Amino acid sequence: MKQEKPKGVYRWALSYLRPYRKRLLILLSLTIVEIVSGLLLPWPMKFIVDHALGSEPASGPASDWMAGVISFLGANRVAMLALGCVAYLIFHYASEFISVAHTQMQQSIGQRLIFDLRRQLFGHLQSLSLRYHLKRGPGETIYHIENDSYCVESLTLGGVLPLASSAATLGAMFVVLLRMNWQVALLSLLVVPFLLWVNRHYAERIVDRSERVKTLEAGLINLFHEVFTSIRVVKAFGREPHEQQRFKDQGATTLDERIKLTLQESLYAAMINVVTTGGTALVLFVGGYNVYRQRMTIGDLLVALTYLGSVFGPLVTMSHTFGNVQASVASARRALRTLQTEPELRDRPGAVEAGRLRGHIEFRDVHFHYDDESPVLEGVSFDARPGQMIALVGLTGAGKTSLVSLIPRFYDVISGQTIVDGRDVRDYKLRSLRDQIGIVLQEPVLFTGTIADNIRYGRLDATDEEVIAAARAAYAHDFIMSKEDGYQTMLGGDEGIYLSGGERQRISIARAFLKNAPILIMDEPTSSLDARAEASIFETMRELMMERTTIVIAHRLSTVRDADKILALDGGRIIDEGRHEELLRRVPLYRELCERLAMGDIPAQDEMELANAEVA
Ligand code: UTP
Ligand code: MG
């Protein structure tokens, strides 16, 4: 992907301001008022020094007005002093008030910008493929949404606006100074080219470096995420010191880069200071000389110095935050790169809504591999008719999970076709296709929320009765009711309880049942259940399965035995398919598998009795 130059990044960031035109207009007006009030600030001081204390004739831009005041108050110096002080107070208070309003308005726009970008990133990242997320890891994604979205604010309101307002202030003050003393006015501009040079020199370095730091920091967050989501394993293996070491190594590199970045930022700020202090000293000297030569009053010099301070002041503070602005360019590049990443799986042009499918699944000579290109599925073909139950058996790593992942298009085939109801899955609108498929994943995943919420995730508009019916079918109702809060029991979060593996599995089965889709895929759905629970679930499933095609990656012989068709998968190929008895006769591998599966099994007759006892 081509690297966006900062300029492109600014344009992109500015485009986020579009919806806030009205607020922006208010903000700009406030900025102008702020600049004008900044211009007025030193004048009461000049009035006091030149006219109340000294005896200078009125001079400068407002000289007529000033002369009027002086002649009105005549020789009453104390009155003039008091007037000067009152004006001083009013001007400063007013300017303070304006700056509060300005900050508030700026924040109210800025926070909205951040939220907008965050929402966009969140949406876009969700649309990217499973492959993308598996490769990238959740930590980095979280850092990305959380951290990088600030860039849109700091590039626009935080960066450009103060710079623009400093430039405008400088221009306005130049005009005022020009009417007081042209030499001083010109000198105050002398610093500008130097400032530009300093900027150019440091900007690109800071951007590059902070991009590196951000990538490293994201990696660190990924490590946290990994450790704390797998804290059981870490503890079980006593690997805390190992993780600590990993953190230390990775953290040390990050720290190193961060410190180098800080050095660049400090150097930059120091250079800005050197330039502006030099400029101020020059103005002080030339202005002082002019005062000495009586071409300028002390009050004028005060005004000039205050003006310089109010232009340079923001520049210097900005240079401290300038590092942030430059870091934001790095953030913006990352954000842009994400937003420009095309979702890998797109709807083909002319893709159709799936509607209610019948559930006829067909694989035609499907070849598939992951990124490393070692073949996972080779020439897989089979046919599953609506209402059939297909069992998939095979050794671990045979490609069972990969095979079923192709039906809801978690991945696309490399060659061949996956066909549902006579149409290639790529010709359906992705969302509508997945709406027709219920899945129980190999690893049950539960969200923070109540048990009912977790089941309802399968179909958000399901009624309570439907949720309970699904839970009953998944043999989960009894254990749910045994919890104090029943279906309202919280999972996860501070108050939440922890469920056993089998309980989690049953909830995820209930979720898939609730979806009531014509295709049901179950990846070892009952691996952590006892034989009795499993028997009950398959008993109810038998009824449900009438109207749907079920593909189950089987774990127990009892399941396999009842399947309409068994696919024996070995090394990515279907070595045989048929009913239980046929495969037993024909396929040695299948015989071996069945012997192993049988060890955890109970005879079919007992299962039925148990299930019936359960129902009664
Ligand atoms: P599967 O995950 O399809 O195997 O991986 P399986 O049959 O379901 O295995 P069990 O029973 O759950 O253990 C098939 C091959 O694809 C690779 C795996 O390493 C395995 O060799 N694979 C899987 C990847 O390369 N990337 C993935 O994201 C997943
Ligand atoms: Mg698997």
**Domain spans in the chain, listed from the N-terminal domain onward:** 6-339, 361-615
- Ligand 1 site, residue 370, Cβ cutoff 6 A: yes
- Ligand 1 site, residue 555, Cβ cutoff 6 A: no
pTM of the model: 0.75
Q: How far is the CA of 191 from the centre of ligand 2 (A)?
A: 67
Please, what's the b/e burial string for 482-514 (b: 16 or more CB within 10 A of its CB; e: otherwise)? eeeeebebbbeeeeeeebeebbbbbbbbbbbbb
Q: Using the 8-state DSSP alphabet, how is residue 156 labeled? A: I
Atom index in ligand 1 nearest the CA of residue 398 equals 7
- What was the pLDDT predicted at 69? 83
Q: Is the model more confident about 28 or about 608?
A: 28
Residue of 202, 113, 111, 195 lying closest to 152 (CA atoms): 113
Give phi and psi for 105, each to the nearest 5: -65, -40
Q: How far is the CA of 560 from the centre of ligand 1 (A)?
A: 21
Atom index in ligand 1 nearest the CA of residue 442 equals 12
157/16 Cα distance (integer angstroms): 11
341/144 Cα distance (integer angstroms): 14
**Which DSSP string corresponds to 193-254?**
HHHHHHHHHHHHHHHHHHHHHHHHHHHHHHHHHHHHHTHHHHHHTT-HHHHHHHHHHHHHHH
Give the containing element (helix H, strand E) for 596. helix 588-599
Cβ neighbours, 10 Å, residue 22: 8
Integer angstrom CA distances of residue 67 from 53, 56, 72, 130, 302: 15, 10, 9, 77, 19
- Ligand 1 site, residue 398, Cβ cutoff 6 A: yes
242-274 pLDDT, tens digit per residue, is 999 999 998 999 999 999 988 888 888 888 889
> What is the residue with the minimal CA distance to atom 1 of ligand 1?
399
- What was the pLDDT predicted at 5? 55
- Ligand 1 site, residue 443, Cβ cutoff 6 A: no
- What was the pLDDT predicted at 273? 85
Q: Assess if CATH 3.90.110.10 describes domain 6-339.
A: no
Atom index in ligand 1 nearest the CA of residue 400 equals 7
Residue 224 has pLDDT above 70, yes or no: yes
Confidence at 612, pLDDT banded by 50, 70, 90: very low
The pick from 372, 377, 393, 400 for probing ligand 1's pocket by mutation, whose C-beta has the most ligand atoms within 8 angstroms, reads 400
Residue 57 has pLDDT above 60, yes or no: yes
On whether the CB atoms of residues 586 and 578 are closer than 8 A, the answer is yes
On whether the CB atoms of residues 315 and 276 are closer than 8 A, the answer is yes
Atom index in ligand 1 nearest the CA of residue 405 equals 3
- Ligand 1 site, residue 376, Cβ cutoff 6 A: yes
What value does the mean pLDDT of the chain take?
A: 85
- Ligand 1 site, residue 572, Cβ cutoff 6 A: no
> What is the residue with the minimal CA distance to atom 21 of ligand 1?
397
152: which 2 tokens?
A: 């849109």
> What is the residue with the minimal CA distance to atom 25 of ligand 1?
370
The crossing angle, in degrees rounded to 10, of helices 501-515 and 464-473 is 120
Strands 437-440 and 519-523: parallel
Count how many residues are written for the chain: 616
Confidence at 545, pLDDT banded by 50, 70, 90: low
608: which 2 tokens?
A: 């039925």
Closest ligand relative to 394 C-alpha: 1
Cα angle vertex 20, ends 15, 24, to 5°? 100
Ion ligand 2 residues within 5 Å by Cβ: 401
Atom index in ligand 1 nearest the CA of residue 394 equals 7
333/365 Cα distance (integer angstroms): 42
476, amino acid identity? A
Kindly provide the residue ranges of all beta strands, DSSP E only, lying in 287-400, ordered along the sequence: 361-369, 375-384, 389-394
- Ligand 1 site, residue 394, Cβ cutoff 6 A: yes
Name, in order, each residue with C-beta under 8 angstroms of 188's C-beta and a sequence gap of 6 or more.
Answer: 170, 173, 174, 177, 279, 283, 304, 307, 308, 311
Q: How far is the CA of 370 from the centre of ligand 1 (A)?
A: 9
Report helix, strand or coil for 345.
coil
Confidence at 29, pLDDT banded by 50, 70, 90: very high
Q: How far is the CA of 392 from the centre of ligand 1 (A)?
A: 14
On whether the CB atoms of residues 335 and 141 are closer than 8 A, the answer is no
Upper half-sphere CA count for residue 8 (Cβ side, 13 Å):
10
- Ligand 1 site, residue 560, Cβ cutoff 6 A: no
- What was the pLDDT predicted at 615? 43
Residue 214 has pLDDT above 90, yes or no: no
Integer angstrom CA distances of residue 504 from 455, 483, 485, 513, 522: 11, 14, 17, 14, 14
- What was the pLDDT predicted at 212? 87
> What is the residue with the minimal CA distance to atom 22 of ligand 1?
370
On whether the CB atoms of residues 140 and 218 are closer than 8 A, the answer is yes
On whether the CB atoms of residues 332 and 9 are closer than 8 A, the answer is yes
Closest ligand relative to 402 C-alpha: 1
19: which 2 tokens?
A: 């919806």
Percent of the chain with pLDDT over 90: 35
CATH of domain 361-615: 3.40.50.300
505/343 Cα distance (integer angstroms): 30
| Three-state secondary structure string covering 174-189 | HHHHHHHCHHHHHHHH
Residue of 602, 577, 603, 600 lying closest to 589 (CA atoms): 577
Give phi and psi for 350, each to the nearest 5: 85, 10
Q: How far is the CA of 226 from the centre of ligand 2 (A)?
A: 21
Segment 229-234 long-range contacts (CB within 8 Å, at least 24 positions apart): none
Average pLDDT over residues 570-593: 87
Q: Is the model more confident about 614 or about 70?
A: 70
Q: How far is the CA of 544 from the centre of ligand 1 (A)?
A: 29
- What was the pLDDT predicted at 323? 62
Residue 2 has pLDDT above 60, yes or no: no
- Ligand 1 site, residue 400, Cβ cutoff 6 A: yes
Cα angle vertex 478, ends 473, 479, to 5°? 110
**Which DSSP string corresponds to 382-450?**
EEE-TT-EEEEEE-TTSSHHHHHHTTTTSS--SEEEEEETTEEGGGB-HHHHHHTEEEE-SS----SEE
Q: How far is the CA of 344 from the centre of ligand 2 (A)?
A: 23
Residue 503 has pLDDT above 50, yes or no: yes
- What was the pLDDT predicted at 169? 84
Closest ligand relative to 132 C-alpha: 1
Integer angstrom CA distances of residue 58 from 11, 39, 41, 76: 47, 18, 18, 16
- Ligand 1 site, residue 129, Cβ cutoff 6 A: no
Average pLDDT over residues 455-472: 92
Residue 142 has pLDDT above 50, yes or no: yes
Closest ligand relative to 555 C-alpha: 1
347/433 Cα distance (integer angstroms): 11
- Ligand 1 site, residue 399, Cβ cutoff 6 A: yes
- Ligand 1 site, residue 343, Cβ cutoff 6 A: no
Residue 450 has pLDDT above 70, yes or no: yes
Q: How far is the CA of 420 from the centre of ligand 2 (A)?
A: 22
Closest ligand relative to 568 C-alpha: 1
